[in-house]
C-alpha cells in the first residue's frame, strides 16, 4: 500500500479500536484509562509501525525475537514500549530483556531465572506476565489454571531481581460465542484476584487478555492490556514475514 493510504487506513483503524475500548470500558463501569492498547505488529513491516506511531500509538507487541529486533532497531528515537507476546524458548531468553519491556508468556521457573540473569546483565527491568492456558488446549502454551499459584510460589522464593511480576495473560477460546469468551475471561480474572490476595502482590495488577475478535468481552471482564493486531494493521502478511 502506498504510504499515505497506509497511514490513513491505520489511523482510522486505530481510532475505531480506541473508541471501542472506551465504549467497552464505560459499558462495564470501568475507566477507559484502565485499559492499554498493545498494537500487535507481527508480520507487518516497519512502515506499518511508523504509520501507527504517526497516529499516536506507542505500545507494540511482537511474537518472535528474530522478527521484532530489526523493527525495534528502526525506531531508536521514539519512546516506544515493546511487549513480547509469543512463546519464548529458553535459548532465546537473552534477546528479550533490554529490547522488550514486557514478556507475556512466562510459563516456568527456569525461564524466569534466565530472564532475570540477562536483565541484570543488561541493567534492564522486564515486566512479567504468567501465561495461563485457560482453555486447557493441549496445542496451546501456558500453565494450567491450577498450576499458576504453585508457579508463583516458586517465583517468589527465587532470586528474580530484574523481573517484575505484573499479572496474568491468557488467550481466549476460539472459535467461541460471546458467552463462552466471557466465561473464559471471567475465569482468568478470578484466578488473578485469587493470586493477588493469596500472595499479597502490590504490583500484580495486570490482566493481558483480548485480541481483535474478543477484546470487548475481555475488557468487560477486567482486561488491563489488550493485544490487537488485525483490527489495526489488517490481515497478517505471512508471505512477507516468512519469505
Ligand X SMILES: *Cc1c(COP(=O)(O)O)cnc(C)c1O
The residues that touch ligand X, with contacts defined as CB under 6 A, are: 40, 42, 63, 85-86, 171, 211-213, 227-231
Closest distance between ligand X and the C-beta of residue 229, in Å? 3
Question: Quick one: 86 or 162, whose CB is closer to ligand X?
Answer: 86
Question: Quick one: 61 or 162, whose CB is closer to ligand X?
Answer: 61
Q: Which residues pair with 97 in a beta bridge?
A: 100
Question: Quick one: 85 or 103, whose CB is closer to ligand X?
Answer: 85
- Work out the widest C-alpha separation in the chain, in whole angstroms: 53
Question: Quick one: 160 or 218, whose CB is closer to ligand X?
Answer: 218
Closest distance between ligand X and the C-beta of residue 83, in Å? 9
Question: Quick one: 160 or 223, whose CB is closer to ligand X?
Answer: 223
Output the CA–CA distances (angstroms, integers) from residue 86 to 4, 67, 68, 126, 140, in the order listed: 31, 11, 11, 15, 11
Closest distance between ligand X and the C-beta of residue 84, in Å? 10
Report the alpha-carbon distance of residue 96 to residue 117 in Å, rounded: 11
Closest distance between ligand X and the C-beta of residue 52, in Å? 13
Residue closest to ligand X when measured from CB atoms: 229
Query: Backbone phi, then psi, for 181, in 5-degree steps?
Result: -60, -50
Closest distance between ligand X and the C-beta of residue 104, in Å? 7
Report the alpha-carbon distance of residue 25 to residue 30 in Å, rounded: 5
Exposure letters 21-30 (e unless 16+ CB within 10 A, then b): bbebbeeeeb
Closest distance between ligand X and the C-beta of residue 227, in Å? 4
**Which residues neighbour 130 within 8 Å (Cβ) at sequence distance 6 or greater?**
106, 107, 142, 143, 148, 151, 152, 165, 167, 168, 169
Question: Quick one: 49 or 162, whose CB is closer to ligand X?
Answer: 49
Amino acid at each position: 500500500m502506498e504510504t499515505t493510504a497506509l497511514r490513513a487506513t491505520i489511523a482510522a483503524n486505530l481510532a475505531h479500536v480506541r473508541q471501542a475500548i472506551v465504549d467497552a470500558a464505560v459499558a462495564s463501569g470501568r475507566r477507559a484509562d484502565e485499559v492499554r492498547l498493545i498494537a500487535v505488529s507481527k508480520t507487518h513491516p516497519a512502515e506499518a509501525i511508523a504509520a501507527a506511531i504517526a497516529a499516536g500509538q506507542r505500545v507494540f507487541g511482537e511474537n518472535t525475537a528474530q522478527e521484532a529486533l530489526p523493527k525495534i532497531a528502526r525506531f531508536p528515537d521514539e519512546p516506544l514500549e515493546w511487549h513480547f507476546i509469543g512463546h519464548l524458548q529458553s535459548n532465546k531468553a537473552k534477546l528479550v530483556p533490554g529490547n522488550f519491556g514486557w514478556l507475556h508468556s512466562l510459563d516456568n521457573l527456569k525461564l524466569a531465572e534466565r530472564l532475570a540473569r540477562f536483565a541484570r546483565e543488561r541493567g534492564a527491568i522486564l515486566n512479567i506476565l504468567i501465561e495461563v492456558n485457560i482453555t486447557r488446549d493441549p496445542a496451546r502454551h501456558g500453565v494450567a489454571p491450577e498450576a499458576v499459584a504453585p508457579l508463583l510460589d516458586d517465583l517468589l522464593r527465587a532470586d528474580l531481581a530484574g523481573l517484575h511480576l505484573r499479572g496474568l495473560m491468557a488467550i481466549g477460546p476460539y472459535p467461541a460465542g460471546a458467552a463462552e469468551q466471557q466465561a473464559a475471561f471471567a475465569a482468568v480474572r478470578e484466578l488473578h484476584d485469587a493470586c493477588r490476595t493469596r500472595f499479597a502482590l502490590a504490583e500484580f495488577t495486570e490482566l493481558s487478555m483480548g485480541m481483535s475478535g474478543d477484546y470487548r468481552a475481555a475488557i468487560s471482564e477486567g482486561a488491563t492490556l489488550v493485544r490487537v493486531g488485525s483490527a489495526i494493521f489488517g490481515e497478517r502478511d505471512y508471505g512477507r514475514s516468512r519469505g
